[in-house]
Structure 1
Amino acid sequence: MTDTLKLFPAGIDTYRQPVVYMHEDCHICRAEGFAAQTPVRIDLRNRWVIATLNVVERGGWLDIDKAALSASAWSALAAQTGDVARFSHPEPPASTSSIRAKAYGARLTRPDFAAIVGDTLDNRLSDLDLAAFITACAGDRLNATETVALTQAMQAAGETLDWGGRVILDKHCVGGLPGNRTTPLVVAIVAAAGETIPKTSSRAITSPAGTADTMEVMAPVRLDERDLRRVVEAEGGCVIWGGALNLSPADDHFIRIERPLDFDSTGQLVASVLSKKAAAGASHVLIDMPVGPTAKVRSPEAGAALSARLRHVGEAIGLRLAIHLSDGTAPVGRGIGPALEAADVLAVLRREANAPPDLRARALDLAGQLLDLAPGAVAGSGRARAEALLDGGAAETKFLAICAAQGGFREPDEAPQRIEIRASSEGTVSAIDNRVIARIAKLAGAPRQKTAGVRLGVRLGDRVSKGQPLYEIHAATSGEAEWARTYAERHEDALVVTEESR
């Protein structure tokens, strides 16, 4: 009897959670007392990982003398089919005492947060442990000092890009507003102005598209640090997926737990955003904060509290920070979903007559404020510079050059399935629910299906007649289109049309 088993890939994606599958009659399960959800340490050559055990019953798909690994566990071990690994009980995570203390109201220090972050990255903490930590920090339970300490611990656990003391501009949107795809436009304008803006972006987690998803429609975004530096040195900017760079890696683990809980936590949001900005080497950062009843930030009071915390932490970690409060009452642009948002971005860059005016205006506002933030800038001159660079075609030229440097530009595709949702009455569009519209786009297949999503046909304040198209569902398959249509028909409040009294 040994403590080893042969490995093979389970072919199951568990996102960032390493999982191991063993037969219930496996000699290791019996001898070690392993049961479902037990953390198990797996050693292979000079690598190890702690994985959560899932038990396969008799008559299942797994042989008794083998262990199957999820995609993340397989990758962490650099395993090959037939490798023999050793299995054991891991040491109990030391940070659980800090999590327990926080749950009872204690204030944590940077070493406490560093231990939690370290155990998270080593997969020593179970999902229950992480959920307890997220819950204990929810709401306003992290004060300003703790937020600084958590931000620093998260940044220190990953890589930090060093740009040799250069001025590095960056921007971030706190989210919650479908279609608000200003980043590619801002990067193109700011880089065309001669500034440096290496933008690392995220993929969607619960939204119909993240910046990386939209950019990937037009150019490769999975670049390593060497290629990132090559692109930035050549063109002054980039728009890439940050997941390949190990910048504040604990954040992805926290988000995986935080999203299903749907908790609003000022401290954790600030730590998430600013740890990644600092890790990317930014020196000057603009935060776009949409405020609206169905946005992530729902009131001016919440916006003020979040702005104050962002400024405090930004100053503490050496970032020069500016906040842009924007209108979050309705989606921005016409497209919601990767390819549809990419089409909007290109329409603005190409100065097309039908380009979404609200997306253009927001991009110019943000690019102008970011240019004003740069050292030596003439205060208030940024927006005019941004407008000249966009209208003169320099931003389009720069964007295409960035795409070429990242691996080549391509035009967005279009969805083969389309369904119009029409107004049931005459009146004025008085409200658009960001969350419902985003949900319809996701049910249509976004962001997994790049061409899926929603294209808006009307804006707030528009007059519509009965039977007029309000928006169009785009999908890759008829099944996904019908799935989204069914939900849309049950939620007519996605777009509220108010009939005028006679």
Structure 2
Amino acid sequence: MLRLRRIAIDTYPENIALLSRRCTTYRAEEFQALKKIEVVGDGRTLLATLMIADAEAIVGPDELGLGEQAFRRLGLPEGSGVEISQATPPASLEAIRAKITGQTLSGDEIEAVITDIASHRYSPIEITAFLISCASFMTTAEMLSLTEAMAKIGNRLKWDAPIVVDKHCIGGIPGNRTSMIVVPIVAAHGLPIPKTSSRAITSPAGTADTMEVLAKVDLSTREMQALVEREKGCLIWGGHVNLSPADDILISVERPLRIDTPEQMVASILSKKLAAGSTHLVIDIPVGPTAKVRSRTSATRLRKMFEYVGDKIGLTLDVVLTDGSQPIGTGVGPVLEARDVMAVLRNEPDAPADLRERALLLAGRMLDYDPALRGGSGHERARELLNSGQALAAMERIIDAQGRNETSYPLGSLVEEIPAPDAGTVAAIDCHRIARIARLAGAPLDKGAGIELLKKVGDPVRGGEALYRIYACVQADFRFATDLAAEGSGYALDRSGTTAAT
């Protein structure tokens, strides 16, 4: 047997195993690099992609090294004895081959594929083949089967409450951090809202990245359940509670390839909410020229898809189409977004009004699910909870219960203002470009990096006046961000009836 060794490398989401070329137990030549192997020890089994190592400093002749992800998933202590063998290709690959040729898959075939993906039996290339074949054509029945299969694998949370609410925005709008306002409003009212969120993959910040400025977000399932029972709400990273784990793997391949079809989006979102035990859900679909959804026609089609799957899996849905024409709030990046959120909750006079009103709209729609409230009074109740300070008090309790972050994250010390070339009125802001610039500046890896928006659509601007301010912590990031902003700021100005990009 080989002795297990933990290798301090991050290979997310893949399981990676390392075998010495001078292995004394197995002939390394019999195991081709980058092929799948099966690791077995103490009744546990793990599938991993094999790499051959030549340096004994990495892995010894009598050892099998596992990267951080693989080591954690196998769950054995370092030094344990393990055996390896060539892994048999998953039988569900035949279903993917059928899908590539244009065939429709049955529910059982889709479940087999998702089960094998969640078990890390697929390579990224095989996952890509599945995603692209589904992106080419997917029926509503396949979309429903994909949702059910992803929700079935992993943890399924149950709550002792007849109504468990949640919200989800499909994304694409910088600064749209409404969840961190909605959750304390709804929790203050008394409806349970177990909000799990993702970290950013290609955006400047996810809700988890921003909440982490204020509190711990990597809670366990047990900690999350206790927190929601006590405080009625939470704002945590979904990666620790293992809800729809196959979806996390699919997303890690989708995002770099920019595969984001409506069918896969619906399955991804609703599988997570179903696994989280939600019964009532508000979906926010921002619509705008640089948003994910760019026309009312596309938004209506997406809304109907959400409603179809929601009805079939027993989720009560309210799909809201909102304005996605520009970023929300004034901050893009974790610290700046957290500042906006707390300004709204504290009812500060200069708090961003658009973020406040968007959060109240969504919170009101969620409170309308409460049968104890008179129909249509949810928005009024949400405003009352925010104005009275009850929402802020609920947020402070949630922060303390999750574990208040005592670390102070300063804004990046490298600062540059991007000026307007001429006088005019801001006619449009490119959400995608603003997000790219903020990301290049270092967000979300550097909490204090990002963009502070000084002008929004409709604001007058003088020639040379700052449109926004870039913050960065690292010189290289600062240069990348400012160079991209110099190529094009993402702002379009109306100069006396003529609109031009800057």
Deviates more, 1:342-351 or 1:24-33: 24-33
* 1:233-382 equivalence runs, <5 A: 233-382=229-378
- Between the aligned partners of 1:117 and 1:487, the Cα distance in structure 2 is 39
Task: Provide the residue aligned with 2:419 in structure 1.
Answer: 422
Task: Provide the residue aligned with 1:221 in structure 2.
Answer: 217
Task: Provide the residue aligned with 2:120 in structure 1.
Answer: 123
1:87 to 84, 89, 105: 84
C-alpha displacement at 1:32, in angstroms?
A: 6.1
Aligned-residue RMSD, C-alpha: 2.0
What's the CA shift string for 1:315-339, capped at 9, x where partnerless?
A: 0000100001011111100111111
- Between the aligned partners of 1:6 and 1:59, the Cα distance in structure 2 is 14
- Does the 8 A contact of 2:244 with 2:275 survive in 1? yes
Question: Number of matched residues?
Answer: 497
Change (3 A) 1:31 1:465: closer
- Between the aligned partners of 1:233 and 1:83, the Cα distance in structure 2 is 39
- Does the 8 A contact of 1:218 with 1:412 survive in 2? no
* 1:475-490 equivalence runs, <5 A: 475-490=472-487
What secondary structure does 1:206 align onto? coil
Change (3 A) 1:476 1:334: same
- Between the aligned partners of 1:168 and 1:61, the Cα distance in structure 2 is 49
Question: Any unmatched runs of 5+ in structure 2?
Answer: none
Question: Any unmatched runs of 5+ in structure 1?
Answer: none
What secondary structure does 1:431 align onto? strand
In the superposition, the TM-score normalised over structure 2's length comes to 0.94
- Over the matched positions of the two proteins, sequence identity in percent amounts to 45
Task: Provide the residue aligned with 2:74 in structure 1.
Answer: 77
- Does the 8 A contact of 2:114 with 2:246 survive in 1? yes
Which AA in structure 1 matches 2:87? P
Q: Does 1:54 align with 2:51?
A: yes
Task: Provide the residue aligned with 2:31 in structure 1.
Answer: 34
Task: Provide the residue aligned with 2:64 in structure 1.
Answer: 67
- Between the aligned partners of 1:77 and 1:194, the Cα distance in structure 2 is 40
What's the CA shift string for 1:322-360, capped at 9, x where partnerless?
A: 001011111100111111110000000011111001000
What secondary structure does 1:414 align onto? coil
Change (3 A) 1:218 1:60: closer
C-alpha displacement at 1:190, in angstroms?
A: 1.0
- Between the aligned partners of 1:111 and 1:501, the Cα distance in structure 2 is 59
Deviates more, 1:412-421 or 1:256-265: 412-421
What secondary structure does 2:176 align onto? coil
- Does the 8 A contact of 1:120 with 1:250 survive in 2? yes
- Between the aligned partners of 2:215 and 2:170, the Cα distance in structure 1 is 24
What secondary structure does 2:272 align onto? helix
What secondary structure does 1:339 align onto? helix
Q: Does 1:386 align with 2:382?
A: yes
Deviates more, 1:215-224 or 1:310-319: 215-224
What's the CA shift string for 1:270-296, capped at 9, x where partnerless?
A: 111001111111111000001112111
* 1:458-497 equivalence runs, <5 A: 458-492=455-489, 494-497=490-493
What's the CA shift string for 1:49-79, capped at 9, x where partnerless?
A: 1111223457995555443321111111234
What's the CA shift string for 1:113-133, capped at 9, x where partnerless?
A: 111111112111111111110
- Between the aligned partners of 1:22 and 1:388, the Cα distance in structure 2 is 62
What secondary structure does 2:340 align onto? helix
What secondary structure does 1:218 align onto? coil
- Between the aligned partners of 1:117 and 1:361, the Cα distance in structure 2 is 39
C-alpha displacement at 1:26, in angstroms?
A: 4.2
- Does the 8 A contact of 1:169 with 1:374 survive in 2? no
C-alpha displacement at 1:309, in angstroms?
A: 0.6
